[in-house]
Amino acid sequence: MARFAIGGVDIAAFFRYVLEELKPLSDRFGGTLRMVCACLLIWIIALTFRNPMGDLGVFMVFIFLQRNKMMTRFVAVLVLVALILASLWILGIAYLSWNNSWLRILLWGGMFWINYYLMSRFPKLSVVFMLPISFASVFCFSFDHDPNPNTLISQLGWVWCAIGLTIMGSFLVEYFFGAPSALDLLRAEVRRIFDHAESHCLGRADGTLSPLTLGVNVGVVHDQAKMLQKFGGLTPLQRENCSRIISAVGAIDRIAFLGDFSMAPDASSRSDWLLVASHLKQLRKRILQGVSGAPAGTNDAEGHELLGISNPQLAQAMRELLEAESCLDPSGSGHDMPLRQMSEEPALLEKKDFTDTEFASRATAATMACYMFASMTDWSGIHTCMITCAVSAMNNVDSQVFKQRLRIIGASIGGLMGFLAMFLIPHMDNLTGVLLIMAAGTGISAWVCMGRVKYSYIGIQMGLAFVMLVAQDPHATTGFTVIRDRLVGILVGLFAMRYAFVWWTPKYIRGEEPTAAARLSPI
């Protein structure tokens, strides 16, 4: 069958992939509705009180409102801590270097370096150190253009008002429209892992599994189970059982991608993978659907057949899975097994391409280069170049480049939506029409944001770009220069980061193997 391809890209396969990403997911419509309602509520209040930082409150909704209530509250706490640190940094630097521009530049550079270092040192708390860089990037140019303490305090006050309004609006929308719990999200992720692992086993049995297919990521379940235990949603024994079973399923999925894919599986290998897929299907029904009956793997004949798999690696993985399943049987020996000490990091540790010091130095050099370029050209509208450096800084070249691509794609689509909105806004004779335009733009962005985790960052960037264009001032914006400045700022920031980490003495070009892409943070 002929395939329509352009530049080596299968167009039909590409559109099938896009449709797969856009298909409905669990609570996707509900999450989109909550984001749209929160954005409209906060923007109406910002317009009423003419908050000059109103756009900050609106697009922070895409950061605050997570997939479950627990994560929303957790991110809110992290953002508040980050805002406190940012305020202390900004006020401290202003106090020490109010009339000394060179000292102020040195202090800004030192602040960036310290926060970048801590981002690399504590990657799970990177948002706490990334946001101070983003907030300070805006205040850098305020010092240069208007070194007035009253103006600085006023701007900080409006920022606090915008963040507080976002928190209250997000919590209020979640209260009225509901949101899935963290336990529901954990069950959905477990179901997804079982479904993908089963399909990969069936694909390996049929010889149709592609080596380009992404394997399951068990680290997400480990992180969710760990957080649930810390907040009292799971007991230590429940977390141990969940982690052991998911780790065993992840090991089976990794084995499915080993070997030569060009050779058709023999009868013995095909039988092994079909047997494993059938077992995973039964286990999934038992765990998630409460199917009654004898626990999978407790039947002697079935257990002997599973342990008699010809592939030694697969047999060992199945042995670990059966051992993990024994803890689910209330009448079996697994019920009396002692609780083992859980490792705090059951997933593989993320590799770093640079030391923490080298990463901080490169990221600081890129950020300060953007600052100097914007200052020398007197083009403060492109301050997004410094924010781009902060949000895309990751101590892994592959992950950083991937996140930068998502940012430019999302910002371009959001900018295009804002560009089209500015043609319609002047023709609206009342606030209702403007709110409908805002709802449409934020709705499209929220739908993408609530989609697949891997590409949800595109939706965040679409929402940020659209809101920053339409709600730039305490009224609906109709100036096209805002679009130009934002996109130029993003391109300058991406160029600076690419030069600092890729074009200037890149490590992976010298023969070192690139590390696997790390899981992206919510921001």
Whether the per-residue pLDDT at 78 is higher than 50: the answer is yes
Cβ contact 396:350 at 8 Å: yes
- The residues that bridge with 9 in the sheet, in sequence order, are 6
Confidence of residue 523 (pLDDT cuts 50, 70, 90): very low
pLDDT of residue 303: 52
pLDDT of residue 85: 92
Give the span between the Cα atoms of 73 and 34, in whole angstroms.
Answer: 15
Mean pLDDT on 15-20 = 59
Whether the per-residue pLDDT at 341 is higher than 80: the answer is no
Q: Which of 21-35, 238-252, 464-478, 501-515 has the lowest mean pLDDT?
A: 501-515
Q: Looking at per-residue confidence, does 226 or 364 come out higher? A: 364
Which pLDDT tens digit goes with each residue over 97-138? 877 888 888 999 999 999 999 998 888 788 888 888 888 888
For the stretch 186-192, contacts whose Cβ atoms lie closer than 8 Å and that sit 24 or more positions apart, written own/partner, are 186/221, 186/224, 186/225, 186/228, 186/242, 187/288, 188/26, 189/220, 189/221, 189/224, 190/221, 190/242, 190/246, 190/287, 190/288, 191/284, 191/288, 192/216
Confidence of residue 521 (pLDDT cuts 50, 70, 90): very low
Which pLDDT tens digit goes with each residue over 206-235? 888 877 677 787 877 887 788 788 777 788
Q: Looking at per-residue confidence, does 96 or 99 come out higher? A: 96
Q: Which of 17-21, 163-167, 209-213, 519-523 has the lowest mean pLDDT?
A: 519-523
Mean pLDDT on 236-251 = 86
Whether the per-residue pLDDT at 502 is higher than 90: the answer is no
Mean pLDDT on 377-386 = 82
pLDDT of residue 294: 43
Which pLDDT tens digit goes with each residue over 156-171? 888 898 898 899 988 8
The mean pLDDT of the chain is: 78
pLDDT of residue 507: 54
Rama region for 178: left / alpha / beta (φ>0; ψ in -120 to 50; rest): left
Give the span between the Cα atoms of 56 and 79, in whole angstroms.
Answer: 13
**Percentages helix, strand, coil for the chain, rounded to the nearest 5?**
75, 0, 25
DSSP class of residue 451 equals: S
Give the span between the Cα atoms of 36 and 480, in whole angstroms.
Answer: 24
Q: Looking at per-residue confidence, does 507 or 347 come out higher? A: 507
Whether the per-residue pLDDT at 200 is higher than 70: the answer is yes
Closest residue by Cα to residue 435 from 14, 37, 155 = 37
Whether the per-residue pLDDT at 65 is higher than 70: the answer is yes
pLDDT of residue 113: 94
Which pLDDT tens digit goes with each residue over 288-314? 765 544 444 445 445 555 556 777 888
User: What would the two tokens of residue 210 be?
Assistant: 């592609």
Q: Looking at per-residue confidence, does 125 or 340 come out higher? A: 125
Give the span between the Cα atoms of 519 and 216, in whole angstroms.
Answer: 12
pLDDT of residue 476: 54
Using alpha carbons only, what angle is made at residue 520 by residues 367 and 40, rounded to the nearest 5 degrees? 85
Q: Which of 66-70, 271-275, 362-366, 458-462 has the lowest mean pLDDT?
A: 66-70
Closest residue by Cα to residue 457 from 1, 21, 48 = 21
Give the span between the Cα atoms of 270 and 193, in whole angstroms.
Answer: 21
Mean pLDDT on 32-61 = 85
Q: For the chain, what's the residue count?
A: 523
User: Using N-to-C axis directions, what is the helix angle for 356-376 and 384-392, rounded to 10°?
Assistant: 170
The pLDDT > 70 percentage for the chain reads 81
User: What would the two tokens of residue 384 be?
Assistant: 């997004």
pLDDT of residue 369: 92
CA dihedral 441, 518, 354, 500 (to 10 degrees): -20
Mean pLDDT on 128-152 = 81
pLDDT of residue 363: 92
Which pLDDT tens digit goes with each residue over 407-427? 888 888 888 888 888 888 777
pLDDT of residue 112: 93
Mean pLDDT on 253-279 = 83
pLDDT of residue 368: 92
The pLDDT > 90 percentage for the chain reads 9
pLDDT of residue 146: 73
Confidence of residue 367 (pLDDT cuts 50, 70, 90): very high
Report the SS3 class of residue 200. Answer: helix
Is residue 271 classed exposed, middle or buried when 0-12, 13-18 and 19+ CB atoms within 10 A define those classes?
middle
